[in-house]
Chain A
């Protein structure tokens, strides 16, 4: 919860953020993956325990991120870019109106970066919302409200 100010959701004040967890997908700085398990095992675990259940299977989502070849390999052996893509796969697995993205373009190559930008555009087309924190330039069809944070000395 914030130190100051308040959170409004659909115009109503929110006291306890956890009730919104169904409506948010949060991609953080850490990948959130168990290193000894494969990407498919990680995503299958999440789909089994999450409420509500996801709309797409882990396999189809990993396919869309071009990770079919490394689907069954323990996550520890993947490159940083591949791990980031597995982490981002959650955005497609769960249909949530709000995406919170913390440096999502980290370690992504040109092709993957374009893929993420397209995903973001499609999400915004469907009237979704994105809160994004990044230091990288990116392309976006829709208008964005930009807050430039001053550098901390």
Chain B
């Protein structure tokens, strides 16, 4: 394996291994996702079918919040134990570390949430095409969120106001993903193939894959002084 693949692979494996040693942490994003979802039926008027009609939008919003919150822990442990500094001083390529971290984060939050959306959406009476589009949009969108979120997470690591500050900074940036993601699912439920939306999500993914790791590397350098 060449050194680029090796660095990314090692970083991602480390993230996964780290979290699997603490198995309860694996479920936090998923539980939060379902918890937020459950709030909506309590909050909206009890009109039959109202919740099911906004289900894909609610699923997207819940996913957005769960993923944004789970970003906080991405660099926190490494920063507080001094491991981040050791990694930086070892001369490792921080851009590749950024990619590895984002990939690890996606596997642990975005991917499970997107997969869980399938049975949940099924239970909420969403049609097969809609479910398919919803899960695809979540997979693409959450990957972009992991990439962009990693840079903001690195930028705000160890600061007081931590979680709130991070979510405050990332949510405005995630708005386009939410708009096109939920619109894709909504259009699919009307029987329209959401080409434009999926292309846009794909485009944002590629853009963030190109630029975000560079920003993550810079953020790490800035915060380590």
Interface centre among A32, A37, A46 (most CB of B within 10 A): A32
Q: Are B85 and A28 in contact (CB under 8 A)?
A: yes
Within residues 31 to 67 of chain A, which ones have a CB less than 8 A from any CB in chain B?
A: 31-37, 41-42, 45-46, 48-52
A133 at the interface (CB under 8 A from B): no
* Interface check A85, CB cutoff 8 A: no
Q: Is the CB of B92 within 8 A of A50?
A: yes
Q: For the complex, is A30 an interface residue (Cβ under 8 Å from B)?
A: yes
Q: Does A123 contact B (CB under 8 A)?
A: no
Min CB distance B118 to A, Å, is 30
C-alpha spacing A135/B187, complex, angstroms: 69
Report yes or no: B81 in contact with A31, Cβ–Cβ below 8 A: yes
Q: Which residues of B contact A90 (CB under 8 A)?
A: 86
Q: Are B81 and A32 in contact (CB under 8 A)?
A: yes
A35: chain B residues at CB < 8 Å are 77, 81
Contact residues in A for B96 (Cβ distance below 8 Å): 49
- Are A30's CB and B82's CB within 8 A? yes
Contact partner of A34 among B6, B7, B81, B221, CB < 8 A?
A: B81
Interface status of A97 (Cβ within 8 A of chain B): no
Within 8 A of B (CB), among A59-113: 74, 90, 94
Contact B92 A51, beta carbon cutoff 8 Å: yes
Q: Which of A22, A34, A94 contacts B78 (CB 8 A)?
A: A34
Please report the total number of A residues contacting B with Cβ < 8 Å: 27
B10: interface (CB < 8 Å): yes
Residue of A whose beta carbon sits closest to that of B84: A32
Chain A: minimal CB distance from B89 (Å): 5
Question: How far apart are B203's CB and chain A's nearest CB, in angstroms?
Answer: 31
Asked if B14 is at the interface of the complex by the 8 Å CB criterion, the answer is yes
Contact of A26 with B89 in the complex, beta carbons under 8 Å: yes
Which residues of A, 14-33, contact B by the 8 Å Cβ criterion? 18, 21-22, 24, 26, 28-33
In the A-B complex, the 9 residue pairs with the closest CB atoms: A30-B82, A50-B90, A32-B86, A49-B92, A32-B82, A36-B21, A51-B91, A48-B10, A36-B18
Chain A contacts to B: CB under 8 angstroms? 18, 21-22, 24, 26, 28-37, 41-42, 45-46, 48-52, 74, 90, 94
Chain A to chain B contacts (Cβ below 8 Å), 20 pairs: A21-B89, A21-B91, A24-B89, A30-B80, A30-B81, A30-B82, A31-B82, A33-B81, A34-B18, A34-B77, A36-B17, A36-B18, A45-B10, A46-B86, A46-B87, A46-B90, A49-B92, A51-B91, A51-B92, A51-B93
